[in-house]
Every structure is written in C-alpha cells, then in structure tokens.
Structure 1
C-alpha cells in the first residue's frame, strides 16, 4: 500500500508544549495514529513517527526539516514507508518510499496542511491533513491520510 497522508493531531499539556517547542517550534515531531484511504488499497490505518532534523531546519524563518517512518497495516500484512518532509509555516511537503525492495515503485509525494487547535482545557491538538500522489504505484495512484499525534508520556 502506498499511502501517507499525514494529519497530525496531538494533545499537549502546557509543559509539554514548552518542552517540544525547544526542539521543534512547529510542533510536528512525535508519534501519530493515522487513518486514510488509498485509490488502490482502500481504507488503511498506520503508525507514524516524525523526527526533526535540527541542523537542516531554520526555525527563525519558520522552516523545519524532518524524517519520518509510517507503518501501515494492510489487513494482516505490514508495509513500512520512510521519507523526508519540509515544513514552511502551516504547509508540509513530503516524499516517501516503501522500504521493501520488492516494492521499488511504491513511492510518492504528498502535501499536508498543519492545524493546531486548543480545547476548553487549554490542551492543543496538532493535525496534519495530507493528500498524496504515487505516480508509479499500480499505474498511478493517490489518497488522503489524517494522523493524530499521540500525547507525550
């Protein structure tokens, strides 16, 4: 399955926000639970892990550089995708590829919008809504994905 849309939603406490902002003021780094729909594979669920590359980021210019891994459950089979992402403000561009050598054409690009909302308790949810295009996967495909950031423990 060739999908990766990332809509990240996270619940932060005030102190967790402060700790995360030190390393990633765009609040993208973390672990997420994802759901999506792929034009070839249908509905899917996955686990996304995003890490900031502080050396390549320029947060004073509102730019972040990231690496990520997405593990997708394909009805008993698992697929792992690795990739790179570049954030500018509330937009995130992503490149991903299936890590399996048997899936050499299972790769694509995505564009996500990052949103952050605060609930009545003052906790934040960061959501990344992604659409993607995989030009070589089964003759070309596309999909959407939403990932919700899990609270830090």
Structure 2
C-alpha cells in the first residue's frame, strides 16, 4: 500500500518531534554587511541588524527582529526564525507604496571565522513579482 504524506502532515510530524529537548540553534544576532543582486533593481549593498528575541524562542528554534538598511532604497523591517543553519526571513520596506516586501530562506555557514548567510528571496507584488539573492557577513 502506498503512503501519501502532505506537506502539512510532514510539518506536524516535525513539530511533534520538536517537543523533545533540542539543542538551541546558534544565536545569529549581530550586524551584517550584505551584497545582493535583485532581478529588477540589479546589484545592491545593505546593512542588516538581526536581534534575537529570547522570550519567543524555544526547543531549538530562535526568533529575531530584522532590520535592513539599503542605501538609496530605504529601511526594511521584519522578523526571522532559525533552526540549525536555516534562517527564514520576512521583510517589508517602510514605505508601503512600492509593495516591496517578501520572504527569504537563508543557509548560515562560517567563512574565514565569520558567520555568513546566503539568502534567496521572493517578492510577490514588487514590480509584478521579483526575486533575488544576497550574501551577508557578520561584522
């Protein structure tokens, strides 16, 4: 007999097993210097502040407040969560007019002794849909 698993069922199974004591994810808090390429806007640089929220972190999951300053574009605010070396980020430009908001998924690693993340992001409404990548290195 074939078994069918939906994405929701797999998430639920993961959440149930997360109840056991799990080592905390590393704390990725800090200031990061970023370089990215946006499909609509081209290359850019940014500074990211990632601040852990311990009261909203548990069982190996960490929560963060996220702020990204992109010269010439503005400030993007949002939130992030991590588990292990995965970091999910939701962000939105302070000016709601351009509908410049989205979600990214990053993989965290260490390069030259410094914490680095590489992120792919998707913006469903900015300029009819957009995406890009960026690499950020903690100072």
The yes-or-no answer on 1:133 pairing with 2:133 is: no
Q: Which has the larger radius of gyration?
A: 2
Q: Structure 2 unaligned runs (5+)?
A: 1-23
- Root-mean-square deviation (CA), in Å? 1.5
**Number of equivalenced pairs:** 116
**1:25 offset after TM fit, Å?**
5.8
* Equivalence for 2:90: 95
8 Å CA contact 1:27–1:126 kept in 2: the answer is no
CA distance in 2, matches of 1:91, 1:25: 9
Q: TM-score, normalised by structure 1?
A: 0.71
Q: 1:107 aligns with which of 91, 101, 105?
A: 101
CA distance in 2, matches of 1:92, 1:98: 19
CA distance in 2, matches of 1:65, 1:116: 20
Secondary structure at 2:55's aligned position in 1? coil
Q: Structure 1 unaligned runs (5+)?
A: 1-23
Q: 2:80 aligns with which of 76, 85, 107?
A: 85
Q: TM-score, normalised by structure 2?
A: 0.78
CA distance in 1, matches of 2:27, 2:80: 14
8 Å CA contact 2:79–2:89 kept in 1: the answer is yes
